[in-house]
């Protein structure tokens, strides 16, 4: 069972572990959505089907803050906040090279190959490509790693992974995008640190933050 960071009648936010799907796919592997539905059904003695729907998603090897809606009202309102770019998402990444420049904003046109689950970037508009923009800042050099903070303005598939590859500093563990191997082959060193948003019914600003996963590379960050 993943760590629950926040829970009420409308939302449940968890610290997603690496190696787990956000929701089910053709592999048939158990997803976080499956696990949380079972948890809600048992905790609240829910008869029949449980309503639970992810508001956004994280890639299977990525960790950190992940939001699900427990009501259709919660989902509709939070999905609109994500779409309107009113949710601040902060990620941390570890790379083996320092980006040049060490901070800035990167915009690319991204096009996904669905058969290969691979995203390519282009510096100009091409067919079926979507503009993706990310702000980044290098926070520290820790041993052989650079610690980078990422604030995506858009939410494209593999956006942060491709952006760092384009800068010549792919994420540790992200072999799909030319990163070096990590201590655990099921993980990449990309962590959704926090989400800042307005609660869908309380209308109050909230920030929910997730601690770093139990991986050798992230222990270096904790101990610095």
When the pLDDT of each residue in the chain is averaged and rounded to a whole number, the result is: 94
Contact 144, 196 (CB under 8 A): no
Ordered domains of the chain (ranges, CATH): 3-222 (3.30.2350.10)
H/E stretch holding 157: none
Confidence of residue 70 (pLDDT cuts 50, 70, 90): very high
> Which DSSP state fits 176?
G
pLDDT tens digits, one per residue of 75-93: 999 999 999 999 999 999 9
Distance CA 222, CA 182 (A): 17
| pLDDT value of residue 30 | 86
Q: What is the mean pLDDT of residues 87-100?
A: 96
Q: In percent, how much of the chain has pLDDT > 70?
A: 100
In 3D, which of 132, 171, 129, 169 has the Cα closest to residue 151? Answer: 132
Contact 166, 177 (CB under 8 A): no
In degrees and rounded to multiples of 5, residue 216 shows phi and psi of -55, -45
Distance CA 6, CA 57 (A): 17
Give the other-Cβ count within 10 Å of 131's Cβ.
Answer: 12
Residue 47 predicted with pLDDT over 90: no
Confidence of residue 23 (pLDDT cuts 50, 70, 90): confident
Contact 196, 180 (CB under 8 A): no
Straight-line distance from the first to the last Cα atom of the chain, in angstroms, rounded to the nearest whole number: 29
| pLDDT value of residue 115 | 83
Distance CA 215, CA 153 (A): 28
User: Is the torsion defined by CA of 86, 87, 92, 95 positive or negative?
Assistant: negative
Residues with a catalytic annotation lie at: 59
Give the other-Cβ count within 10 Å of 10's Cβ.
Answer: 18
pLDDT tens digits, one per residue of 106-145: 999 999 988 888 999 998 888 999 999 999 999 999 999 9
Q: Is 85 helix (H, G, I), strand (E, B) or coil?
A: coil
This prediction has a pTM of 0.94
Contact 151, 132 (CB under 8 A): no
Distance CA 122, CA 110 (A): 6
pLDDT tens digits, one per residue of 184-214: 999 999 999 999 999 999 999 999 999 999 9
Whether the link from the prior residue into 101 is cis, omega within 30° of 0, is yes
């Amino acid at each position: 069972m993943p760590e629950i960071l926040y829970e009420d009648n409308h939302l449940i936010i968890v610290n997603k572990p690496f190696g787990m799907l956000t929701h089910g796919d053709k592999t048939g592997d158990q997803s976080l959505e499956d696990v949380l539905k079972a948890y809600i059904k048992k905790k609240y003695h829910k008869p029949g089907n449980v309503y639970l729907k992810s508001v956004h998603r994280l890639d299977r090897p990525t960790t950190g803050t992940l939001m699900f809606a427990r009501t259709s009202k919660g989902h509709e309102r939070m999905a609109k906040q994500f779409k309107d770019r009113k949710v601040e998402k902060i990620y941390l990444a570890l790379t083996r090279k320092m980006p040049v420049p060490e901070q800035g904003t990167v915009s690319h046109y991204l096009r996904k190959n669905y058969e290969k689950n691979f995203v390519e970037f282009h510096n100009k508009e091409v067919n079926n490509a979507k503009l993706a923009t990310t702000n980044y800042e290098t926070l520290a050099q820790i041993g052989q790693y650079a610690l980078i903070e990422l604030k995506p303005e858009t939410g494209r598939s593999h956006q942060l992974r491709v952006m760092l590859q384009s800068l010549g500093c792919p994420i540790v563990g992200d072999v799909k995008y030319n990163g070096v191997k990590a201590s655990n082959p099921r993980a990449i060193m990309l962590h959704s640190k926090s989400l800042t948003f307005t609660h869908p019914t309380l209308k109050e600003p909230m920030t929910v933050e997730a601690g770093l996963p139990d991986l050798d590379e992230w222990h270096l960050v904790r101990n610095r």
